[in-house]
Amino acid sequence: MEFDSTVPIYLQVIRQIKKDLIQGNLQLGEKLFSTRELANRYQINPNTASRVYKELEYEGICFTKRGLGTYVTEDHNVLIKIKEEMAETAITQFVESMKSIGFIKEDVVRLVEQYY
């Protein structure tokens, strides 16, 4: 994974894990990599990997079973929430970008329908 230097690495890894979850590459209840494995997979510092899991746990996306590892939540509603949040971010960025180059709502809708 190539990192964007303008966004903290741990946030980019979190975004990728969320994307893997909504795309079905990670399943609800599935065991996640150990912190060390996560650090190796993304070529990040182990402290950063630990921060990723702490943040995901805080958001309710994963949970830790002491001595067994970290697991993806089993709550389907969390998956729906992640998908909606990612969609809102993408749409907001898109609409703001289109506004900044002078498009009005009707033009944006027409173009989306045309290209979809």
The alpha carbon dihedral of 29, 34, 39, 40 has a sign of negative
Confidence label for 114 from pLDDT (cuts 50, 70 and 90):
very high
Q: Which residues contact 101 (CB under 8 A, 6 or more apart)?
A: none
Half-sphere exposure of 80 (CA within 13 A, CB side): 3
10-62 pLDDT, tens digit each? 999 999 999 999 999 999 999 999 999 999 999 999 999 999 999 999 999 99
Task: Quote the pLDDT of residue 7.
Answer: 95
Query: Span 77-101, mean pLDDT?
Result: 95
> What's the whole-model pTM score?
0.85
18-31 pLDDT, tens digit each? 999 999 999 999 99
Task: Quote the pLDDT of residue 1.
Answer: 84
- Phi and psi at 10, nearest 5°, equal -60, -35
State the DSSP H helix or E strand holding residue 9, giving kind and residue range, or none if neither.
Answer: helix 9-22
**Percentage of the chain exceeding pLDDT 90:** 97
CA distances from 44 to 21, 37, 64 (A): 20, 10, 21
